[in-house]
């Protein structure tokens, strides 16, 4: 028997990804990002858990805590 699981992990695969922001779409409150596998990831900008405003070119960890992908933490990889 499996233990309790998060609703964010049930049946949808990875729950945390590293992405780079390629484009911001303000009218849709969305960021178009690319993960470290080269796949496009759409991330909502409507959920703000940090005081940091996402900008094109930044690296972030995104997760599915609230259903769809949202920004969790900015990475400073330089």
Domain boundaries of the chain, sorted by first residue: 17-75
pLDDT range class, residue 10, cuts 50, 70, 90:
very low
Q: Supply the pLDDT for residue 77.
A: 75
Q: Supply the pLDDT for residue 50.
A: 86
What's the pTM?
Answer: 0.79
**Is residue 60 within a helix (H) or strand (E), and if so which, with residue range?**
strand 59-63
Q: Supply the pLDDT for residue 13.
A: 66
CB atoms within 10 A of CB 77: 8
Question: How many degrees, rounded to 5, is the angle at CA 10 between CA 48 and CA 3?
Answer: 115
The residue ranking higher by pLDDT, 50 or 45, is 45
The CATH number corresponding to 17-75 among 1.10.287.3510, 1.10.8.60, 2.40.50.140, 3.40.50.300 equals 2.40.50.140
Q: How far apart are CA 19 and CA 15, in angstroms?
A: 13
Average pLDDT score over residue span 55-63 = 97
């Amino acid at each position: 028997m499996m233990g309790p699981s998060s609703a964010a992990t049930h049946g949808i695969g990875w729950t945390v990804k590293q992405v780079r922001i390629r484009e911001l779409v303000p009218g849709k409150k969305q960021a178009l990002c690319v993960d470290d596998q080269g796949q496009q990831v759409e991330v909502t900008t409507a959920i703000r858990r940090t005081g940091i405003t996402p900008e094109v070119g930044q690296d972030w960890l995104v997760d599915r805590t609230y259903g769809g992908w949202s920004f969790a933490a900015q990475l400073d990889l330089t």
